[in-house]
Every structure is written in C-alpha cells, then in structure tokens.
Amino acid sequence: MGAATAFYLSQSGHDVVLLEGRRVLSGGTASQSCAGGIRHQGRAVCEIPLAIEAIRSWTRLEEELEADLGYRQEGMTIVTDQEQAVAELEKRVAVERELGLDIGMVYGRDLQDLIPGLTPSALAGSHCALDGHANPLHTVSAFINAAVKSGTRLELECPAVGFVVEKGAVKAVRTPRGDISCDWAVVAAGAWSSGLTASVGFELPFEARGLQMMITPRHRPALKQVLGWVGHGISLKQVPPGGFLIGGGWPGEIKPESYGTTVLPGSMAKSAQTAVALFPQLAGTSILRAWVGIEAFSPDNLQIIGTAPDIENLFLVAGFSGHGFALGPGVGRLIAEFISTGKLSDLLRPFRPNRFDSQKGP
C-alpha cells in the first residue's frame, strides 16, 4: 500500500518521501505474509466493487511499472466437499453476480475437467476466470523502483516514530534522522500502524497474526488456477518457476515488537496435509522453504482507509486482514487521487477509520 501510494503520488507531481523502518522487504512484514492471490470472489459485499476496480488495473500494471510481476490471470476456484456448503457457495455467487462479477458455479465432473488432479471428493466450486496471482515481492520492489524513478525519495532504515501536530494537522513526521515536514502523512505500516496512530490519540483495533507460507521444489506444470477450499483457510497455486505455493492454513509464531517470526513444524505439517488432500499429486513432495509474515487483522476483517479522526491530513491505510495484495494498486491510485483533488472515491468510504463502536462517527 505504501509503495503503490508513493508511486501514484509521484506520478501526480507530488514531492514524496517513502520511509522504510528497515530494508525493503525485510523479513516479518506483511508483504512476506502474502501468498500472491489476486481474487475478486469471497470478499465482503462492500469490498467487491473496490476489488473489481483494483484488479482491472493489474492487466496493465507490468507495462506501467516496466517490470515482470509474475502476473497470471488464469482463474481461481474455491471448492467444497461438504453437501451443506454447496448451497452457501451458490448464495455467495448469486450476490457476487448481482454486483457485476463474472463468476459461476461448477459441479461434479465439470469441476474435475476444469481442474485436473483436484481431489475427487470435491462436489462443487465457485469459479472466477478473472482471478489470478502474482509475485508479491517482485510487485513491491517494482512499485518502489518505479516510485524512485518518478521522483520519490526513499529513506531506508528510517522509521516514522511519531508526528508533529499543530491545530489538528500534521506538520511533520518524526524520524531518528530528524523531522520531515509535510502537507500530508500516509500511514501504511501494517500491524505497526497502531503505535503511530496511538501517538496522536487514535487507537487502531488491530490484532497481529503470523501467516505462514510454504513452497515446494519445482514440478512440471500441473495447476494453472488458484485453489481455495471452504472451511480449510488454505490457498494453493503453482507459481511460474514451477513450485507449489501453500498459503494460509495454520499460523506461525510472531513477535511484532522485534519483527520476529518462527515457523512452526506442527503448522507446516497440517498445512501440507491439507494441500495434499486438496491436490493429491503433491503427496510425497518436499517443502523447499517456509516463512512467516506479520499481518494486521481488524475486528471485522476489513481494512481501515481514510483520514484519522480530528487530524485532517493524516491518512490511514492498514489492517487488510490477509486480503489486501490484490487491492494495492487500486487503493494506492485512489489515495493519490484523493490527496491531489480532495475527493474521496465512494469505493473507499466503507472502510472509514471511525466505523468501530469505540470510535463512532459519520
């Protein structure tokens, strides 16, 4: 979110400073916790219009950033092997179709034909051909590189530690290297956003969680789609180099105050077992690497986007609760549009920072 916002602000002619507390893509951050899925389906109703707009931008993003993002728009299917869950999938798909999403249900033999190698126990699935995946680390790096080329000043190992606030407005961002004056400050620090906003009297109700990823050695091409499994919280995809990436599932251990993360063998085993049950040909394969990233989850599992209460030029964008990667380019562009014009897109309004009971407001 921070890198995309910096890029689009620079493209709009703003003087931008991008602060990174450590190095780009240091371990433990939310970008590390991302499995790279780019999906429309399975989102809250209020988020789907934003997803449709944001994912539309992915089709031109590699050209825009002049970089290979590993983007593949080859569909996603979320399957179930439970009779009672089929009706729930059908209801969700019906709502998503009403919202303009090109999605449909697939059943039985047609599901096996669509996804060769899928578990034979799968009864039905929701299929969206416009879903896909990309490489999150390549994407973040590409946004940062493009932002710098557009004039953004990148400050590494220079965390924001607070703000200078006068008369209800941020005048400067405090860093170990001194204060940086600003007209606008954008907080896009994931789980660490809470500490920054608390310094100006606004509590973000985030819970930090450790999302664990695993990847196998290279295999011959066998799976074009992204797979999800109702009730198992797991995603499975084969990335362009050939490895199978297992996302979600069982968590790792985290220490957010030090960016510390620990892979848990028990969690790895459970996620691997689930992946094999979903796609049986993975049986017997090894895990090449596993890692954990720290993600901020909000009480309603929806992100916070908007100006901080009582501070007119402090913009918050955090708490994407494990489903923000696909939205990043669209959200960054809309934030840049707001800062440039003063007009907040209706697509962002459902995610206002003061929507929770403890911070009621319009």
The HSE-up count of residue 36 (CA atoms within 13 Å, CB side) is 27
Give the tens place of pLDDT for each residue, 279-334: 999 999 999 999 999 999 999 999 999 999 899 999 999 999 999 999 999 999 99
DSSP 8-state code for residue 284 = T
Question: Are 223 and 301 a contacting pair, CB within 8 Å?
Answer: no
Residue 196 contacts by C-beta under 8 Å, 6 or more apart in sequence? 160, 161, 162, 163, 187, 189
Residue that wins the pLDDT comparison between 25 and 181: 181
Cα–Cα distance, 164 to 171 (Å, whole number): 5
Residue labelled with tokens 């004039």:
151
Question: Are 321 and 296 a contacting pair, CB within 8 Å?
Answer: yes
The reported pLDDT for the residue numbered 23 is: 84
Q: Is the pTM of this model over 0.75?
A: yes
The rounded mean pLDDT for the chain is 94
Cα–Cα distance, 305 to 308 (Å, whole number): 9
The reported pLDDT for the residue numbered 360 is: 43
Angle in degrees, CA 289, 291, 292, rounded to 5: 165
Which band of pLDDT confidence, cut at 50, 70 and 90, is reported for residue 361? very low
Helix (H) or strand (E) holding 110: helix 108-114
Give the tens place of pLDDT for each residue, 194-228: 999 999 989 899 999 999 999 999 999 999 999 99
Q: What is the set of domains in the chain, with CATH numbers? A: 2-67+135-205+299-356 (3.50.50.60), 76-131+207-297 (3.30.9.10)
